[in-house]
Structure 1
Amino acid sequence: MIIFDQVSVVHDGATAPALPPVDAHLPEGELCLLVGPSGAGKSTLLGTVSGLVPHFTGGTLHGRVTVAGRDTRTHKPRELADLVGTVGQDPLAHFVTDTVEDELAYGMESLGLPPATMRRRVEETLDLLGLNELRDRPIASLSGGQQQRVAIGSVLTPHPRVLVLDEPTSALDPPAAEEVLAVIQRLVHDLGTTVLMAEHRLERVVQYADQVLLLSPDSGARLGDPAALLAVSPVRPPVVELGELAGWDPLPLSIRDARRAAGPLRDRLAPHAPSPAAGPPSANPATATPNSAASGSAASGSAAPLAEVSRLTLVRGRVTALHDVSLSVRAGETVALMGRNGAGKSTLLGTLVGMHRPTRGQVTVAGRIPHRTRPAELLRHAGLVPQEPRDLLYADTVARECRTADADAGAAPGTCRSLVSRLLPGIPDSAHPRDLSEGQRLALALAIVLTARPPLLLLDEPTRGLDYAAKARLIAVLRELAGQGHAIVLATHDVELVAEVADRVVVLAQGEPVADGPTHEVVTSSPAYAPQVAKILAPQPWLTVGQVRQALGDEPGPRDGGPAR
């Protein structure tokens, strides 16, 4: 269905190709997962299938891409629209209309489908993606995850033969991600749709992949069996990391296969079971500092809260976004906000930086009422990295963004640039922020806010677009900040991140807190929010591969056997 014939892309002014040469054939009716570190060229390769590269993005396409026999060099995106459906990393850039139902119908209108067909397919898609209650809502009023589902639905209604998906579940809560992946599976298995998907959260999708196309700057592009390629991939989900640590062969890709093999490993770990009060585990014990997030939190237990929310209710239009929310955050504490898309997580973060005026209740940050405090003054006490990092980016080069951040924060020259390189090496100074990948833009926005070192750091989906290596570097930075007394509140659907850094988890549902407690209690009490290691090694209280590695240490003895077949 899709043939890559020695494909590479060179952007205008670049000295090196944007991706390694790709030579692969993807058959009809298969799900191929595109894997590689941030900046490896995944989004660029996806763009060659829809014709966006090079017809829209510019640059030079070397080699040939054919989709169902159509050469994308000679067929522009509009001439491939009936064949290829594409959802990019940024759903806002995808929308053309104002409301959910209109957006689902727009693609079919462009193709001239009969009204009766359009109506039927809109209803089918609303049901498939759980969007029926949102059908009349303005798209601008939806949460990021809801917008992601609408974007996916809008390309499903024309019934394309090929789906190209760039981070399709990155903004979705775990249950919503499972629903979307179930729909994709039905399209592949029942309708023979060919799906090419890039997704950094491999733990969600790798077990569904028929093949993996691995992009590596060092070893080029390889297509093959998922387990075989993930064994040598620089980016791997926790289930694969745990399988390698335990010596399982073949490496498991699903929780089910891993649990079948985990009996001997659980026996070895039983004497080392972690104390639930030990706080977030260290991903790298060798580099852990005495000022861990847990110790910082404990040391500050008697200090006044940096941020306090008391009986907060917030009504926006006809929607009660938050209802009777109370929350205290102390120095050195890391709090994770979790819950379904639209539960009020981003709204709560926005209220803490004065973006929303409470309808009832009270919010204070460092003794100040946010919506009554001048932004310049509040920024010295609280910094927010929003879901859309481009909201913080105004300059025309990375270097200029970094210099401005240093000047605004009164930091030493080079501070922001050093943080960018630490979070995600390889981002060039001369690059325009709009030309960066989603993960690279996020790293830049994080660095800008971290340069000011605010006492209260608010992060909205901070790992969206980041690969596992970049996420590990972010985790190290967050642990350092917590150990130095900074308070961190992060709204996220990334259960693996929460397991690594959070002291406490607050779960919101329809704007109300429904759970608030230590991380190990909250995330393991719900299958939706439990990390992979917790599911594999239950009922033992392990949360991360780092914990298991630290417990096993250099323990001698034979490795465990492979998964049961």
Structure 2
Amino acid sequence: MIRFEDLSVTYPGAGAPVLSHVDAHVEEGELCLVVGPTGSGKSTLLGAAAGRVPHFTGGLLTGRVLVEGRDTREHLPRDLADVVGIVAQDPLAGFVTDTVEEELAFGMEQIGLAPALMRKRVEEVLDLLDLARLRDRTLADLSGGEQQRVAIGAVLTAQPRVLVLDEPTSALDPAAAEDVLAALARLVHDVGITVLLAEHRLERVVQFADRVISLAPGGNAESGAPARVLAGSAVAPPVVELGRWAGWDPLPLSVRDARRLAGPLRDRLARTAPARADDGAAGAPVLDAREVRVRHGDVDAVRGVDLTLRAGEIVALMGRNGSGKSSLLWAMQGQGPRTGGSVRLAGPGADPATLPPALARRHVALVPQTPSDLLYLPTVAEECAAADAQVGGPPGSARDVLSALAPGTPDGAHPRDLSEGQRLALALAVQLTGRPDVLLLDEPTRGLDYTGKARLAELLRSLRELGRAVLLATHDVEFVAGCADRVVLLAGGEVVADAPAREVLHDSATFSPQVAKVLRPLDVLTVDDVRRLLPGGAP
């Protein structure tokens, strides 16, 4: 169905190709997972399969890509629209209508389907992706995860033979991600649709894959069966990383497979009698929110939330899509709407909403779900220089943070040309130059590979050591397990749990990390926990 034959892609002004001599194929009715570090060319490979590279992006493409026998060099994306549907990383940027139902119908209108057939397909997709309750909602008012499900649904209604998806679950909570992936698996097995999918959160999707294409820095690729390719891949989900450390054969791709092999490891860990780690004592309160309420139209997004952030503490704000996480972050930062309650910063003793923006930024900074909202200059270097100048910091401060989070990000690149992870790193560098007492992050791991997440976790731990408070809204349970001290769980705009991270994650059916599920009932959350408990290596 899809063939990459000696494919190389070099963008204008680039010193080296982003993809180099890639040979791979995807058979009809397969779900093929594309993996690799940030910047390795995953989005370029997907764009080539949909004809967007090089027709929309420019650059030089050598070799060829065949989709159902059509050479993408000779067919524009519109010529492939009846065969290929694509869902990009930023769903909001791709919407062309105002409401959910209109967006689901738009693609079918463009290919001239009969109204009765359009209505039938819209209803089917509404049920498939649990969107029926949102059918009349305005797209701009949806949460990021809800927008992503609508974007997937808008492609599915046209019933293409090939689905190309770039990070389809990055903004979804664990339950919603499982629903979307299960729906894709049903389309593959029951309808015979071919799926080409790039994803950084491999723990969610690898068990559904029939084939893996692994991209390495420099543009080289390896393609084959998931277990064989991931055995040597630079990126791998925790269950695979645990299997590689333990020397399990065959290498497990799911929690179920890993549990069948983990008996001796659980026995050895049980003899070490691991106890719950001391999460340490946080410092004095630096931000205090009381009875915060946020209303969007007829929707009560946040309902009387009390939340205190303390110096030297990393707090994870979790909950299903639409539970009010982003609304609460913006209300606490001061620029978002707040229909009730109070927020007070300990430093100036004032509500951040009443402070001048330059002063507020020195106390509380927020990096939103779409980091590009903070970026407005034509190059990375100019963004970094402007951030330093705005807070009177020494030249190079923002660049140093950016280099630590995303090494190799070019100074001369336009922010919109960066990968999702690089844009996040740049926005974070811009915000941290003000050395705020409180850092608020909305889905900070979206677009980051495992190495990027490790760098971000290290940065957050260094901020904790400096006495800063960090509040991050996220669905990434693996990231939370590795760095958070405390978890606040929201549901329906209300706090339903506020406890140490290990307690919430270990006992949760939805928010447990993979290693905790494999080694339950032991109090072990991550592969690093296993290494610390068994420094001598695998049994």
In the alignment, what sits opposite 1:418? 400
1:463 match: secondary structure: coil
Deviation of 1:277 after TM superposition, in Å, equals 4.1
Task: For residue 395 of structure 2, give the secondary structure of its aligned residue in structure 1.
Answer: coil
Residue 358 of structure 1 is matched in structure 2 by: 338
| Higher deviation after alignment, 310-319 or 102-111 | 310-319
Map 1:163-312 to 2 at 5 A.
Answer: 163-217=163-217, 220-279=220-279, 294=280, 298-300=281-283, 303=284, 305-312=285-292
> Could you tell me whether the CA contact under 8 Å between 1:2 and 1:26 is conserved in 2?
yes
Partner secondary structure for residue 276 of structure 1: coil
Quick check: 2:272–2:533 contact (8 Å CA) kept in 1? yes
1:481 aligned residue (441, 463, 483): 463
Q: Is the 8 A contact 2:2 2:25 kept in 1?
A: yes
Alignment partner for residue 528 of structure 2, among 535, 546, 554?
546
Q: What is the alpha-carbon distance in structure 1 between the residues aligned to residue 50 and residue 413 of structure 2?
A: 24
Distance 2:361 2:314 in 1: 19
SS of residue in 2 equivalent to 1:508:
strand
Aligned to 2:310: 330
Secondary structure of the corresponding residue to residue 313 of structure 1: strand
The residue aligned with 2:380 is: 398
CA contact (8 A) 2:17 2:218 kept: no
SS for the counterpart of 1:376 is helix
Q: Deviations over 1:288-333 (max 9, x none)?
A: xxxxxx4xxx151xx2x11111112222221111101111110011
1:49, distance to aligned residue in structure 2 (A): 1.1
1:359, 1:432 → 2: CA distance? Answer: 38
* Aligned match of 2:426: 444
**Counterparts of 1:438-517 in structure 2 under 5 Å?**
438-517=420-499
| 2:320 alignment partner in structure 1 | 340
Displacement after TM superposition at 1:223 (Å): 0.6
Residue 61 of structure 2 is aligned to residue 61 of structure 1: yes
After superposition, what is the alpha-carbon deviation per residue over 1:459-500, rounded to whole angstroms, capped at 9, x for unaligned?
000000000001101111100111110000000000011111
Q: Could you tell me how far apart the structure 2 residues matched to 1:447 and 1:410 are? A: 15
* Counterpart residue identity of residue 331, structure 2: T
The answer on 1:26 being equivalent to 2:6 is no
Alignment deviations for residues 207-264 of structure 1 (CA, whole Å, 9 cap, x no partner): 1110100111258111111111111111111111111121212211100011111111
Amino acid in structure 2 at the alignment position of 1:439: G
Aligned counterparts, 1:13-162, within 5 A: 13-162=13-162
Structure 2: how far apart are the matches of 1:452 and 1:82?
A: 50
Closer/same/farther in 2, CA of residues 384 and 273 from structure 1, 3 Å limit: farther
User: C-alpha distance in 2, partners of 1:476/1:14?
Assistant: 30
SS in 1 for 2:490: strand
Q: Distance in 1 between matches of 2:438 and 2:217?
A: 37
Report if the CA contact (8 A) 2:388-2:433 is conserved.
yes
Give me the whole-angstrom Cα distance separating, in 1, the residues matched to 2:314 and 2:496: 19
Quote the Cα distance in structure 2 between the aligned partners of 1:187 and 1:453.
Answer: 48
Measure the CA separation in 1 of the matches of 2:67 and 2:292: 53
| CA contact 2:39–2:217 (8 Å) conserved in 1 | no
Task: Tell me the CA shift for residue 391 of structure 1.
Answer: 0.5
TM-score between both structures, scaled by the size of structure 2: 0.98
Which SS does the other structure have where 2:222 is aligned?
strand
Partners of 1:250 and 1:397 in 2: CA distance: 47
Percent of matched pairs sharing the same residue: 63
SS of 1:37's equivalent in the other structure is coil
Q: Which structure 1 residue ranges, 4+ long, deviate > 6 Å from structure 2?
A: none
| The 10-residue stretch of structure 1 (472-481 or 414-423) with the greater mean CA deviation from structure 2 | 414-423
Residue aligned with 2:119, SS = helix
Q: Is the 8 A contact 1:273 1:541 kept in 2?
A: no
- Contact 2:181–2:205 under 8 Å retained in 1: yes
Which amino acid in 2 is paired with 1:331? Answer: A
Separation in 1, partners of 2:98, 2:104: 11
Q: Count how many residue pairs are aligned between Structure 1 and Structure 2.
A: 537
Deviation of 1:538 (Å)? 0.4
Query: For residues 13 and 439 of structure 2, what CA distance do their matches in structure 1 show?
Result: 37
How far 1:357 moved relative to its partner? 4.0
Q: Alignment partner of 2:20: what SS?
A: coil
Partner of residue 378 from structure 1, selected from 360, 366, 383 = 360
Unmatched runs of 5 consecutive residues or more in structure 1: 280-293, 561-565
Letter of the structure 2 residue corresponding to residue 527 of structure 1: A
Give 1:20 deviation, angstroms. 2.4
Q: Is the 8 A contact 2:18 2:219 kept in 1?
A: no
TM-score by length of 1: 0.93
Deviates more, 1:267-276 or 1:454-463: 267-276
When the two chains are superposed, the root-mean-square deviation of aligned CA atoms in Å is 1.2
Q: Secondary structure at the match of 2:98?
A: coil
- Per-residue CA deviations over 1:488-518 (Å, capped at 9, x if unaligned) read 0000000011111111111111111111111
Q: Which sits farther off after the overlay, 62-71 or 153-162?
A: 62-71
Q: Is the 8 A contact 1:20 1:215 kept in 2?
A: no
Letter of the 1:212 counterpart: V
Question: How far apart are the structure 2 equivalents of 1:357 and 1:105?
Answer: 32
Cα distance, 1:11–1:218 mapped onto 2, change above 3 Å: closer
Aligned residue identity for 1:379: R
Shift of the 452–272 alpha-carbon distance from structure 1 to 2, 3 Å rule, reads farther
Quick check: 2:485–2:500 contact (8 Å CA) kept in 1? yes
Q: Give the AA of the match of 2:311.
A: A
Give the conservation status (yes or no) of the 8 Å contact 2:5–2:63.
yes
CA distance in 2 between counterparts of 1:415 and 1:76 reads 44
More displaced 10-residue stretch of structure 1: 133-142 or 244-253: 244-253
- SS of the equivalent of 1:21 reads strand
Q: Is residue 40–residue 218 contact of structure 2 (8 Å, CA) maintained in 1?
A: no
1:551 & 1:273 partners in 2: Cα distance?
A: 9
User: Hey, what's the Cα distance between the residues in 2 that align with 1:95 and 1:316?
Assistant: 21
Rounded Cα–Cα distance in structure 2 between residues aligned with 1:453 and 1:299: 19
